[in-house]
Amino acid sequence: MGLKFKTMSEQYNIRVNSEVGELEAVILHKPGKEVENMKPENANRALYSDILNIEVANQEYAQFKGALDKITTTFELQDLLKDVLERKDVREDLLKDIIQSEEIYGDCDIISSLTNEELSKKLIEGVKMNKNTLTKYLMDDRYSLKPLYNFFFMRDASMSFGNAALIGKMANSVRDREALIMDYVLQNHPQIQAKTYNPNLFEGAKNIHVEGGDVLIPREDILLIGMGLRTNSEAIDYIINELNAQHISKHIIIQQLPKSPESFIHLDMVFTLLDNDKCMAYEPLITQQNQYKTIHIELEEGQTISIKEEQNIPTALKNLGMDLEVISCGGKTDQWTQDREQWHSGANFFAFAPGKVIGYARNSHTIEEMNKHGFDIITAKDVASEIKNVEDYKNCVVTIEGSELARGGGGARCMTMPIRRKPIL
């Protein structure tokens, strides 16, 4: 592990069989003008609880990416998008799909006239509406092609597992273009080119919702899926059918999630893997008795052979040979603190190697609890500036400031789309 350099000859085809295997390549997206294009009255429609100060958010993002640049190979989504737009056929097909799906025929000439570099930005930042008709003049919308406010949460629009990627079927139409862009990037970029499963093309797609924050990989033969506000049972059935069609044996653990408050939108907001034998959990939902079910589905050689209820996620994983030490989000002593830190993505850690993770410093009680369990605390600034080296630590949590990024409703895992990890030995 150490500073990585990309060359156009290197291939990073998808290979992700765990949550904690040493990270070899990851896709990120720096929050940009799309976030600045939000105003208070449309923040809720954009799925934010508040508007962000983009200057501060970018300072925090710089810490995050700066640390990861010293650890692994990072790709910026906009650069990947620009690369695939260089292919005329791909550019034409992508624009055709966007124009049809978002019904922006009136302004398609403006969009089509953009250079590849401009287009790679505008497909994310948005394109202002040409108010050249009375109907458009009277519309409240400012944009014909709306900004993708949430795209810096890279995890949701696509998710890697095994040697393929599952494209998100977003629960909110404001995010549909994110999934479309990721599908085109992953299938057409010369350094990545991935097989994709795309429920958006499925006959029953209108009934399916699945986002990457709900899909975790504890081990190569186990999928852990949250079922709640953003991922439904129909999507899980779609995944099961795809796996059965390929005769892939798998244990699938389903965790029901509350549909409110909004901080429970994805499973990785209440549970993430930190090491081969450690996890972070919001315990009132994950380990304590409550009304939300944990269901274990076993697939073997093309058949669903059993569906049964389990006590909770740690118990289900222990029964499969993964005995996890549970570290409590917000600490052990006060549920008020647990609730507060879970709200600010306190359970949403991203592992870049076994026992080495990155997350928000603002969740001080969670960080203190991790320290009690053997994690050294180092800052992303120190890693980025090479004052600290993650290889010098057995277990560590790299902390980034998160006063603004957290307002978008996600943490370090949300902001990453890993495409390759080393196998767990």
pTM of the model: 0.93
Domain-embedded: residue 390: yes
3-state secondary structure string, the chain?
A: CCCCCCCCCCCCCCEECCCCCCEEEEEECCCCHHHHCCCHHHCCCCCCCCCCCHHHHHHHHHHHHHHHHHHCEEEEHHHHHHHHHCCHHHHHHHHHHHHHHHCCHHHHHHHHCCCHHHHHHHHHHCEECCCCCHHHHHCCCCEEECCCCCCCCCCCCEEEEECEEEECECCCHHHHHHHHHHHHHHHHCCCCCCEEECHHHCCCHHHCCECHHHEEEEECCEEEEEECCCCCHHHHHHHHHHHHHCCCCEEEEEEECCCCCHHHCCHHHCEEEEECCEEEECHHHHCCCCCCCEEEEEEECCEEEEEEEECCHHHHHHHCCCCCEEEECCCCCCHHHHHHHHHCCCCCCEEEECCEEEEECCCHHHHHHHHHCCCEEEEHHHHHCCCCCHHHCCCEEEEECCCCHHHHCCCCCCCCEEEEECCCC
Q: Is residue 315 part of a domain?
A: yes
CA angle 153, 95, 133 (to 5 degrees): 100
d(CA 210, CA 171): 7
Per-residue model confidence (pLDDT) at position 159: 96
Domain boundaries, position 414:
23-84+147-421
Domain annotation covers residue 10: no
* Residue 8 lies inside a defined structural domain of this protein: no
Domain of residue 39, CATH code? 3.75.10.10
**pLDDT for position 260:** 82
Task: For the chain, 425 residues long, give each residue's pLDDT as a single digit of tens.
Answer: 544 545 556 889 999 999 999 999 999 999 988 887 665 555 445 445 566 788 899 999 999 999 999 999 999 999 999 999 999 999 999 999 998 888 886 777 888 889 999 999 999 999 888 877 887 788 877 888 889 989 999 999 999 999 999 999 999 888 999 999 999 999 999 999 788 999 988 877 788 999 999 999 999 999 999 999 999 999 999 999 999 999 999 999 999 999 888 789 999 999 999 999 999 999 999 999 999 999 999 999 999 999 999 999 999 999 999 999 999 999 998 999 999 999 999 999 999 999 999 999 999 999 999 999 999 999 999 999 999 999 999 999 999 998 888 887 899 999 999 999 999 87
Q: CA–CA separation, 297 vs 308, rounded Å? A: 7
Per the CB < 8 A criterion, the answer to whether 35 and 348 are in contact is: no
Q: Has residue 17 been placed in a domain?
A: no
- Residue 6 maps to a domain: no
In this structure, is residue 100 part of a structural domain? no
The domain tally of the chain equals 1
CB contact set of 126 (below 8 Å; sequence gap of 6+): 34, 37, 143, 145, 146, 147, 148
Instruction: Report the half-sphere exposure of 378 (CA within 13 A, side-chain side).
Output: 24
Is 34 part of any domain?
A: yes
